[in-house]
Structure 1
Amino acid sequence: MPTLLNEKGFKFFFYANEHPPPHVHVMKSDGWAKVEIETEVVVYSSLKKQELKECLELISSHKQQFLETWNDWFSR
């Protein structure tokens, strides 16, 4: 389970056997979300509204890094 980022209490990661489209799983406290990286579409979320907003801001600011890591991992 490659971890992409730990920031502001959020843990961003994906599983080693994932499937397209590129997406991240996010955990914070007892909530979690699944978000497509390129489009920032929220597939699922149990995060609080403010947490989801912060989560999406972090994904947006780290989008290139997340995509590079995803592509590197799955092109092996």
Structure 2
Amino acid sequence: MPTVLSEGGFEVVIYTTDRMPPHVHVWRGGCEVAIHLGDADTRPKVDGPHRLKRQELRAALELVARHQAYLLRVWEMYHG
């Protein structure tokens, strides 16, 4: 489970055994949220339950959106 991005107290991880659709796991303070990466026409969105505070969740989504193209490239590198 490589950490592919670390910023603002968040750790963004891609599990090499995960399946489609492309997504990342964002960790902060022991809490995790899965975020679908979307594509060039679709913004990232939350996938499933999480325990992040609303402000942390918004920041996590913004982080993933800012780095969406990079994260999609890394996902492709691991999952072909």
Report the alpha carbon displacement of residue 60 of structure 1 after superposing the two structures with TM: 0.5
Gaps of 5+ in 2: none
In the alignment, the residues of structure 1 paired with residue 3 and residue 76 of structure 2 have an alpha-carbon distance, to the nearest angstrom, of 14
RMSD over aligned CA atoms reads 1.0
- Does residue 56 of the first structure (1) align with residue 64 of the second (2)? no
Say whether 1:46 aligns with 2:43.
Answer: no
Which secondary structure state, in structure 2, belongs to the residue aligned with residue 69 of structure 1?
A: helix
What number of residue pairs does the alignment pair up? 75
Report runs of 4+ in structure 1 exceeding 3 Å deviation. Answer: none
How far off its partner does 1:46 sit?
1.2
Identical-residue share of aligned pairs (%): 35
Q: Which runs of 5+ in 1 are unaligned?
A: none
TM-score using structure 2 length: 0.87
